Amino acid sequence: MVSPTTMAAVRASGAIPNAEYLLSAEGIRKEFPGVVALDDVQFKLKRGSVHALMGENGAGKSTLMKILAGIYTPDQGEVLLKGQKIRLQSPLDALENGIAMIHQELNLMPFMTVAENIWIRREPKNRFGFVNHGEMNRKTAALFNRLNITMDPQTQVRDLSVANRQMVEIAKAVSYESDVLIMDEPTSALTEREVAHLFTIIRDLRAQGIGIVYITHKMNELFEIADEFSVFRDGKYIGTHASSDVTRDDIIRMMVGREITQMFPKEEVPIGDVVLSVKELSLKGVFHDVSFDVRAGEILGIAGLVGSGRSNVAEAIFGVTPATSGTISINGKEVDIDSANTAIRHRMAFLTEDRKDTGCLLILDILENMQIAVLQDRFVKGGFVSERALTKVCEEMSSKLRVKTPNLSERIENLSGGNQQKVLIGRWLLTNPRILILDEPTRGIDVGAKAEIHRFVTELARDGVAVIMISSEMPEVLGMSDRIMVMHEGRVTGFLDRAEATQVKVMELAAQ
C-alpha cells in the first residue's frame, strides 16, 4: 500500500509508466447490513475514454462509483490507479490521487461566489496569508475560458440556474487537474443546448487523455458520448462492451436480464368528455395565456425545455402557487383552486418533479408516506385515523404497484428511486383522482420500474382518469401521450396529435 502523498508525488514526477488501464477495480465486494451491494465486480477504465456505467437503480453502480471516489472502502478486492494498488480512505484522498467526482446532488455553497466555491480549501493567498480574490477570480476566468463557459466568477452561486451550477461543479472537478472524472447523471437538469455544451467539454477532456466514468439512465447519451460501457445487475458485473457494437435493445436486455417487449404500453382507450379546462392561465413573470383541455382517458403530454414554465403551470393548476389570472374549470364548472388542499378536494393529484424536495417524507416509513394525502377526507373518524383499514388499503396498493420492500414500516429513504416513486404514485392513487398531473414521473428511475410506471399510467387512462404528463424525455412524451402541448419561455407554442408528433416537430416548437 502506498500513502496518498507519496502516490501524488510519484504521479507528479511522471515516474509511473502508462499502465494499460488508467483505473481498474477487481473482485470488489461491498456489503451493507443485510444486502450485498457489490459482489465480485470488476471495472476497467482506459486512458482518454468515456466509460458509461449502466444498470437499474440498485444494480450497484452508485456503490462502485463511491468506492472509486473514496466515499466507501470495499470489503474485498482492489483498486488500481495506473497499475498501482491504492486504498482510498476519503473523497479528499481520491482527489489527491487525481480522481474527482461530480455528484448528482450539487454540493455548492449558495452564499459564496463561483470562484470561492471552485477554489475552496485551495484559495490563492497573498503575502499576509489572506485570500487573494483578484488572483482567484483570474484563475476562475482562465478555467472558464478553457471550458468555454461564460459566467462571472464573482456571481453568488444562489443566483445561478441549476444548469449553471452543474457547470460550476464540472469546472471545479476539472480544476483539480484530475486524471479520472466521475460524473453521476450530469445531464439530468440540463437543457439540450447545455447538454451539447457539456458533451463538447467531455470530448475535449477525453482528447487530453482524461478518463471519464459516466453514469446515466439515458440510452441516447450512451450512444452519443460513451466509448465503452459496463452493465451491472443486482450487484453483479454483467459485461463491458464498446457502445458501437450494440443496440439499445441489447443493453436493456443486459440491464434487466429479460426482454422488455414494449417500452411504452400505450393503449388506445375511448376518450370521454372534457374534465379539466384551463383558460388563459397566467402567473405574472412566469407563464402567460396557457389554455388547454384534458379529457377523461386522455394523456396530455407537456413538452418543453427546463425553464419553459411546464412545472409552474402544473403547480398553478394544483394550487401550490396559484395563478394570477385566468380560469380553471372542472367538468365544466369554474373552480377557484387556492391551495393543494382545494385541488385534492376537486379530486386532483400531483406527482411533483422533485422526489426528495417535494415528494418523500424521507425519514418516515412507507405507510406514513402513502397515507398522508388520503387523510384529507377519508379514513378519518372524529380526528382518529382508521389505522387498520388504511393499512390494509396501503398494503394492497403497495403490492399492486409492486413496491419492493420487506414491509411497509421501512423508511422510504432506504428504497431505490423507482420504488420511492411507486410509493408516491400510491399516495395519489389512494385519493381516487380523476385528474392526475405527473411531473417527470420517471426521472432517475431504472428501466424496469419505468416500464411499470408507464403501465400504471396507461391503466389509469383506461379507467377514465385525465392525465397530464410533463416529461423531458422525448421518447416518453411521444410514446405515452395522446396529444402533446409544447411550451417555450412561458408560452404555449403548439399542440401536436399523437399521429403527427415526432421528435423533430416537438423540438422545433420547444426551441423556436
Contact 38, 73 (CB under 8 A): no
- Gap between the terminal Cα atoms of the chain: 57
Among 145, 372, 402, 508, binds another protein (CB under 8 A): 372
Query: Is 364 one of the binding residues for another protein (CB under 8 A)?
Result: yes
Query: Is 162 one of the binding residues for another protein (CB under 8 A)?
Result: no
Contact 225, 219 (CB under 8 A): no
Would you give the binding string for another protein spanning residues 298-337, x where CB under 8 A is met? --------------------x-x-----------------
Nearer to another protein, 327 or 358 (CB): 358
Footprint of another protein on 91-110 (CB under 8 A): none
Query: Is 427 one of the binding residues for another protein (CB under 8 A)?
Result: yes
> Nearest 10 degrees: CA dihedral of 370, 373, 378, 382?
100
Among 302, 350, 426, 493, binds another protein (CB under 8 A): 350
Span from 39-47, 373-381, 449-457, 494-502 in contact with another protein (CB under 8 A) = 373-381
Query: Is 358 one of the binding residues for another protein (CB under 8 A)?
Result: yes
Span from 28-36, 51-59, 153-161, 396-404 in contact with another protein (CB under 8 A) = 28-36
Beta bridge partners of 436: 349, 467
Grouping H, G, I as helix, E, B as strand and the rest as coil, residue 407 is coil
Cβ at position 346, least distance to another protein in Å:
11
Span from 231-239, 264-272, 358-366, 495-503 in contact with another protein (CB under 8 A) = 358-366
Length of the chain: 512
Query: Is 344 one of the binding residues for another protein (CB under 8 A)?
Result: yes
Footprint of another protein on 196-235 (CB under 8 A): none
Among 224, 250, 387, 497, binds another protein (CB under 8 A): 387
Contact 416, 235 (CB under 8 A): no
Query: Is 34 one of the binding residues for another protein (CB under 8 A)?
Result: yes
**Dist. CA 88–CA 132, nearest whole Å:** 32
Footprint of another protein on 458-477 (CB under 8 A): none
Among 359, 417, 426, 433, binds another protein (CB under 8 A): 359
Span from 32-40, 123-131, 208-216, 252-260 in contact with another protein (CB under 8 A) = 32-40
Closest by CA position to 416, among listed 17, 37, 28: 37
Among 109, 142, 196, 380, binds another protein (CB under 8 A): 380
**Dist. CA 45–CA 25, nearest whole Å:** 9
Cβ at position 436, least distance to another protein in Å:
14
Closest by CA position to 296, among listed 342, 331, 266, 334: 331
Cβ at position 472, least distance to another protein in Å:
20
Number of residues forming the site for another protein (CB under 8 A): 34
Cβ at position 362, least distance to another protein in Å:
7
Q: What region, left, alpha or beta, does residue 7 occupy, with left being phi > 0 and alpha being psi -120 to 50 degrees? A: alpha
**Dist. CA 422–CA 398, nearest whole Å:** 8
Amino acid in the structure at residue 35? V
Query: Is 341 one of the binding residues for another protein (CB under 8 A)?
Result: yes
Contact 422, 401 (CB under 8 A): yes
Three-state secondary structure of 332-398 = CEEECCCCHHHHHHCCEEEECCCHHHHHCCCCCEHHHHHHCCHHHCCCEECCEECHHHHHHHHHHHH
Cβ at position 161, least distance to another protein in Å:
20
Among 142, 242, 362, 389, binds another protein (CB under 8 A): 362
DSSP state of 249: H
Cβ at position 135, least distance to another protein in Å:
38
**Dist. CA 462–CA 271, nearest whole Å:** 9
Q: Which spans of this chain sit near another protein (rule: CB under 8 A)?
A: 32-34, 318, 320, 339-341, 343-344, 350, 352, 357-364, 368, 371-373, 375-376, 380, 383-385, 387, 406, 409, 427
